[in-house]
Structure 1
């Protein structure tokens, strides 16, 4: 269908949410086992790791997390942390002390005071009204608590926004007062359906029917994402293959042997790559072997790649060209790899 649609369903008994624009998946949320990004926990500070600038943190059920650049922490000290990403196999969960209490309309930010309204809302009268609503909702709160009102507030009812602010404030205050004790999960990460409601804003249609994933075409697209080959049109393609050390991307022109084929395929790959990495849940070091083109065109390809990643929600850092003519970048691991998730579902 045309427009923006959210399809909610299940695969293997686990929640799945797909956000589609004109029938093409643009984002995907999956229900994962264990601690997921966004979960808030009480942990216990462990030993520091020399040379890395961080400490291990003991979490509930014997799990371990890693906190970078901690300040003023002592071994054995209880600490509030939030899961910041997905761990590589055999490694500790990445953690942060910068907690965010996030809901559909409001985000409460401990240790980041101030009242802020999303820049996507540009009407000055509405911004002023929302700022007043935020001030009223945070009246009497600790000065260390900040608040962000999200872009979806633009079309929301004031009463809904006020209730959301009140709920997030109460949750934040309760958690921040519960720092002492053994390791414990205090706020679980949202499920896939809840995350879609919370983070994907207003859409034209939400399909909650039993066959929503199949009817929307999301199911077929998810199956295609489990394969390395990506069709770029015009016979061009790229292969995305995760290894233990990095994500290898190989761009090919196919049967097109024209002088501009390599540049056309590489630009198409640069535009599509952020979406593919996001949907496949891939992060870490990414090494791209673009199709052949002249060195004079490197800047054009890099500009397209930079623009594409700036539009992506995940943090990415473009390192540049290697001596062998490949391109390197890093992308934050913010979700479980789709292939691993599908394997878990298949195993039951």
Structure 2
């Protein structure tokens, strides 16, 4: 697994940008707009507006001007829909887009560094990347007495001691208790997360999601850097916090700006000259691998074809994550005649996609030689986010 080295943060007038960098490679760019912050994972006490029996779904008023959408499979602990006007404790799974409201769930998830706690669930589950029955059994023994309900062990939990797991459980349980108390004392509709200090802080979320592998956080805001360093000192964390006050922007570190420009271009060129073209469409994303200056379209030999594809595979996985592309993806690799070579390329792409926190589903090569996969949707694409930010600045 690639190690996440640092988080580079740049404060702009209308947004806060966080670049997740591993070994000099930009993995993610997270953009938090001040005028339109993401509500993903935020918990609301909503009010049921109307049920749609044909869709087995309902609209819920959460007090943001647009009704949230709740499907039956996103509920927990309810066999039938309650009457209109009933209060519902819900969590935002996806932000709304355009005229559509946010996608909601009643299966509340409280995320820690090593666990995702589902108070209304049951049992112990595991990240698909957390392998080994012995390790799973060890983790299960350590956490099953810490939580009432369900819990999913995150990949970062691999190797974590009982003491670390217990320390991680404490703030997770406290956050759920805060949510629960607010739900009993608040009239719907209400944003409960807004009433919990630090619940939407992007740095807190980054520490929770990547803190197990982060070595350094760089901020170009002196006050934020000092505050974060004080927090690390109080918690006894060894994570370095550095204030960037040089003459050049923080995103010049590791050439983050240049890597963003590359991710906005349709074509990327790898070190050997191999070219990969990304063509997002309305129904699917087409990815074309071309040997470019590294050789002809068919390559000089079958061995060259598989070498080109093996070089392209991790780059494709990185760009899908960085560009935040979602939906059906069809990859046109350089043609390989050998099933052994195709299996080797598929394994390489699967290994690279395993680094992506957004779920992907691999379907493999078709009869026509194309490779198919899907990637779940998690908000707008990188290009759309940056375009919206540019309009806000204008």
What pairs with 1:223-262 in structure 2 (closer than 5 Å)? 223-255=261-293, 256-257=295-296, 258-260=300-302, 261-262=304-305
Contact kept, 8 Å, 2:285 with 2:327, in 1: the verdict is yes
> Secondary structure of 1:62's match?
coil
Q: 1:214 aligns with which of 227, 244, 252?
A: 252
**How many residues align structurally?**
337
Using a 3 Å threshold, how does the CA distance of structure 1 residues 154 and 68 change in structure 2: closer, same or farther? same
Q: 2:345 aligns with which of 294, 298, 301?
A: 301
Contact kept, 8 Å, 2:15 with 2:31, in 1: the verdict is yes
Give the distance between the partners of 2:165 and 2:371, measured in 1 at CA. Answer: 48
Using a 3 Å threshold, how does the CA distance of structure 1 residues 128 and 329 change in structure 2: closer, same or farther? closer
Q: RMSD of the alignment, in Å?
A: 3.7
What is the deviation of 1:165? 4.4
Gaps of 5+ in 1: none
Alignment-derived partner of residue 10 in structure 1: 11
What is the TM-score when the length of structure 2 is the normalising length? 0.71
Give the distance between the partners of 1:86 and 1:288, measured in 2 at CA. Answer: 28
- Does 2:52 correspond to 1:42? no
Using a 3 Å threshold, how does the CA distance of structure 1 residues 47 and 166 change in structure 2: closer, same or farther? closer
Using CA pairs below 8 Å that are at least 6 residues apart, which structure has the higher relative contact order?
Answer: 1
Query: Residue deviations 1:115-165, cap 9 Å, x none?
Result: 7899699999x9699659x74xx6xxxx44758696396598799647524
Gaps of 5+ in 2: 74-78, 220-242
What is the TM-score when the length of structure 1 is the normalising length? 0.79
Give the distance between the partners of 1:123 and 1:98, measured in 2 at CA. Answer: 27
- Does 2:60 correspond to 1:57? yes
Contact kept, 8 Å, 1:266 with 1:290, in 2: the verdict is yes
Give the distance between the partners of 1:94 and 1:191, measured in 2 at CA. Answer: 21
Give the distance between the partners of 1:74 and 1:128, measured in 2 at CA. Answer: 35
What is the deviation of 1:338? 1.0
Give the distance between the partners of 1:262 and 1:253, measured in 2 at CA. Answer: 8
What is the deviation of 1:18? 1.8
Give the distance between the partners of 2:103 and 2:169, measured in 1 at CA. Answer: 33
Alignment-derived partner of residue 327 in structure 1: 371
Q: 1:73 aligns with which of 63, 81, 87?
A: 81
